[in-house]
Structure 1
Amino acid sequence: MAARTRRSREVGSAASRVFLALCVAGVLIAGAMTALLLFESQRAVRAEAERVTAAVASALAASPDVGAELAGDPDPTAVLQPVAVRVMAESRVDFVTIMTVDGIRVTHRDPAQIGLPYIGTIPSSPVALTEEFTGTLGPSVRTIVPVEADGRQVGWVAVGVTIGSISSAFLARLPVALAIALAVVTAGVAGALLARRVTRRVTGDLPAGAVRDALSSYESLRTLGEALRAQTHEHGNRAHTAVALIELGRTDEAVQILTATSRRSQELIDQVNARRDGDPTVGALLLGKASQAAERGIDWTADISPDAPGSVLAPIDQVAVVGNLIDNALDAAAAGPLPRWVRVGIARGPLGIGLTVSDSGGGVPDELREKVFEHGFSTKPAGAEGRGVGLALVRSLVEDAGGTLELSTTAPTTFRADLPARSPS
């Protein structure tokens, strides 16, 4: 299974994957931008139609000639119909209907409709109204405005633009939106080509999985190196103290210091050795991390079940997972309140093997529970070594092996990794 997992990670070079990801992102962005532009264009065209119909209708209703004809001329059509035709031509609206108070048309785009009732909503009070309605010319956006003369209402003016005209105006803007989308896609592909070239300079033609494996190796060596350095430093300090006590003739105290150091280390060694399928590299890591915890004044507890199976992860990936989770816990505990402690547990889990790492730190805020797993995110100072890599790498390694990584929702802060067990050889 581990071999299959590793092979599945090595399909396609890292540079090719970067290129493909950026191309897909460019297409998605272009698609979303095009949809937004089209939506905004359609909305703008409709809003423009509403403004134009309202403006033209208001202008005609305010014209003294229109009011005078409706108020005093028994046959206003002879004067107002030519006015309506001229306004339709100059204002690019589809119809101008002037009517009496009770809605009888005195002008219309189709002269045959003059004298017939207006098809649309006539307000019950003399106020302007804009609506979409289906009349003799089909669906249209129209505005109806009251006409007043000598302080009284004498008629109505309705001006409209058909939905067909609105659609034609919208289609006229479509090539612009498509040109913008094409430009975004072209820029995205150009950026992807540049990113692929830069990535290839760094990684060559290495598969993406191999690059990730190199990062895992680096993180494993880093955390293991820190652990061994702390162990060496602790042993050196105790040895120097013991030598000084011996020189002072306080042999019993020197023996006690060396015995206490040996006893604590031996207890952890016994737990590691009791585990049938354990990895010695992980055992060495735990010994070093125990020394690192002592160096930082953090109480260390490790509980390793003898029947815990082996993990499908390669030893170097196991070190990266365990080491980074412990490093994260040590940092959190060191920055948290007293007493400071870290607990590590390795036992059987629902998938095979379960690893838990708990700490006494201040916890992870709810809004950061997912962000802590993102590459590049860290609550450590900007210059911290390994900043923003550890937990992202841990999740990648665990999930790539078919496992799960969870962060507890309650105190204490606990990361739990469940991994499939390695098949017995």
Structure 2
Amino acid sequence: MSHGWSIARRLFLAHALFILVLAAFVGTASFVDARDRGYSETADRMLAVATAIADNPLVLEASRGADPSGSLQPYALRVAADADLDFITIMDTDRTRWTHPTTSEIGKEYIGAVGPALAGEPLTEVSTGTLGPSVRAVVPVTDEQGAVRALVAVGVTTSNVTIALNARLPAVLGLALALLAAGSIATWLLGRYLRRVTLGWGPEQLAQLFVYLDSVLHSVREGLVLVDPRGELVLYNDQAARLLGIPPRSPAGAAAGGAPLLADLDLPASLGELLQSGRPARDEIHPTGSRVLVVSQQPALASAAGRGKPAAMGSVATIRDHTDLQSLGNELQGMRTLSDALRAQTHEHSNRLHVLVSLMELGRIPEALEFATRDLELSQQLTDELVTSVDEPVIGALLMGKAAQAHELGIALTVEASGSLSDSGLLVQDLVTVLGNLMDNALDAAVSGEAPRTVDLRVSSTADALVIEVADSGPGVAAEAEEDVFRPGFSTKDPGAYGRGLGLALVRQTVARLGGSLVIGRHQGAVFTVTIPTHRSPEPTPAADQAQAPRA
């Protein structure tokens, strides 16, 4: 069988051959059964006729006479003609024929078995006599005392039986042809169905394709998920299992069935809705508990031999992990903030240097020195206020940049801090994500609000929790939009730009992962309050300090 043949063609040929063999077998069995039943029915009829003749008193009376043939030959010929028999032979117990269809055979010895009949028992057999092979019955003729006086043999030649069987042959052939036709139609329909579902591919091609797909699934670095219309994960690779937090699944397990349902998985509502809907998507951002995922999805369409409207068989989604990229984006945003601050300071220092140069050119050295000293004191005072307000250097640098950015935007930034951030037990990266995105959101809101534009930051760190409160003078957040502002991609400014509408989603993701809470309030503008439990290390006891002190 050619390796290029499809599964449908192979199954069609195998099934057609099976139907052909089955039809031949059934036809042969039906013919043999009809033949056997024909011989049995003929033997029963011969026995019945022979018994009737043997019971006729004429036969017993003639057997006692001097010339049995004279009275029995006409009788036998007449009955044979009426019963459509080939011969009726009435004979003496010594096998001497008294009657026979051929007159020359009268008086000769009967050819055939008579033993059971001489013992008083009728018999039937297929035997060859003077007329050829025949189905015959031999019955004893007994007197009043039960003694056997004569024998009666009745039969028809097998040629006549064959003629009768041939009358049944059309029915047998009709049955075989009907079985062959029905099987052929069923085979054609099954082959057509298999050709459609296998796209006309052979088993070797399907096996090779499966191996290729398995290799692709395990080699790609992106997560790949195949979902059917019922919401079952038909197939997914190891990367998708890692990103979605589900157990890895081998292709053998996929073939065995038991695909997990999307409804049974602990996925974010937005991501679960996207995979369940099967709608096309391109680079949609979906934060999970600890990751930022970018998802693209397309429906899986199939069309039989390219004819008709393509049918949706599910959807294929690719998942990329942009957590690290988002972290780099946050760092880039921080660097951009610092560069903007340096640019603003450069502009300010340029103006001040022009003033100093002008004073010096006019010969007013004392005034120039006094101006430079006051400017230095003001800059140092601002730096000392921001740096000394928090004890975490990275957060201090972040606030310095935000202060410069606020100054350039014409926004009054106030910072109030109490407690220790460095001893809170929280990662500085998480603090930068929460504080940086809340400050960026507040600055954007304050710029779009009316003057005076202000942003107030309050940070309070205690033994139990870290509380961050960011208030702005912007338009605030409407009550019906409080949930939308945390949805990835939602933004009041250019929502189509990459990274827009993701800051507050990352804040809520980080706060939820740290076991905290995020509340939106309203004063003059919006007020975002974040509360995060702290994990401070216990303070060392004096005994411990003494034990750790170096010995002299």
Map 1:213-228 → 2, pairs under 5 A: 214-228=324-338
Preserved contact between residue 309 and residue 353 of structure 1 (Cα < 8 Å): no
Give runs of aligned pairs for residues 322-361 of structure 1, distance below 5 A: 322-348=435-461, 351-361=464-474
Q: In the alignment, what sits opposite 1:14? A: 243
1:332–1:360: 8 Å Cα contact kept in structure 2? yes
* 8 Å contact from structure 1 (residues 271, 304) kept in 2: yes
Letter paired with 1:321:
V
CA distance in 2: counterparts of 1:335 and 1:22, whole angstroms: 48
Per the alignment, residue 173 of structure 1 pairs with none
Distance 2:509 2:352 in 1: 45
Counterpart pick for 1:405 among 511, 518, 526:
518
The counterpart of 2:371, out of the listed 253, 259, 273, is 253
Q: Which shows bigger deviation, 324-333 or 244-253?
A: 244-253
Query: What corresponds to 1:362 in structure 2?
Result: 475
One-letter amino acid of the counterpart of residue 437, structure 2? N
Checking the alignment, whether the CA contact within 8 Å between 1:242 and 1:258 is kept in structure 2 is no
Report 1 or 2 for greater relative contact order, CA contacts < 8 Å, sequence distance ≥ 6. Answer: 1
Whether 1:316 aligns to 2:426 is: no
Counterpart among 337, 342, 351 of residue 232 in structure 1: 342
Q: Quote the sequence identity (%).
A: 32
Partners in 2 of 1:419 and 1:351 — Cα distance?
A: 9
Deviation at 1:16, TM superposition (A): 6.3
Larger Rg: 2
Could you tell me whether the CA contact under 8 Å between 2:463 and 2:534 is conserved in 1? no
Superposed counterparts of 1:2-401, under 5 Å: 12-14=241-243, 23-24=261-262, 190-191=314-315, 194-195=316-317, 198-199=318-319, 202-203=320-321, 211-212=322-323, 214-249=324-359, 251=368, 252-273=370-391, 279-307=392-420, 310-348=423-461, 351-382=464-495, 384=497, 386-401=499-514
Question: Could you tell me how far apart the structure 2 residues matched to 1:254 and 1:311 are?
Answer: 40
TM-score by length of 2: 0.40
Write the distance in 2 (CA, Å) between the matches of 1:253 and 1:349: 42
Q: How far apart, in 1, do the equivalents of 2:260 and 2:504 lie?
A: 24
- Partners of 1:258 and 1:270 in 2: how far apart? 17
CA positional deviation for 1:380? 1.2
Contact 2:520 2:528 (8 Å CA) reproduced? yes
Paired with 1:321 and 1:299, the residues of 2 have a C-alpha distance of 21
Please report the RMSD computed on the Cα atoms of aligned residues, expressed in angstroms.
Answer: 3.5
CA contact (8 A) 1:404 1:417 kept: yes
Detail structure 1 runs of 4+ shifted over 6 Å in the superposition. 18-22, 26-29
Q: Structure 2, unaligned stretches of length 5 or more?
A: 1-238, 250-258, 266-271, 278-310, 360-366, 539-552
Structure 1 position 309, deviation (Å): 6.8
How many residues in Structure 1 have an aligned counterpart in Structure 2?
A: 242
Counterpart secondary structure, 2:474: coil
Q: Which residue type is aligned with residue 323 of structure 1?
A: G
Q: Classify 1:320/1:254 alpha carbon distance in 2 versus 1 (closer, same or farther; 3 Å).
A: same
Unaligned 5+ runs, structure 1:
1-9, 34-185, 204-210, 274-278
Distance 1:350-1:330 versus aligned 2 partners, 3 A rule? farther
TM-score (structure 1 length as normaliser)? 0.51
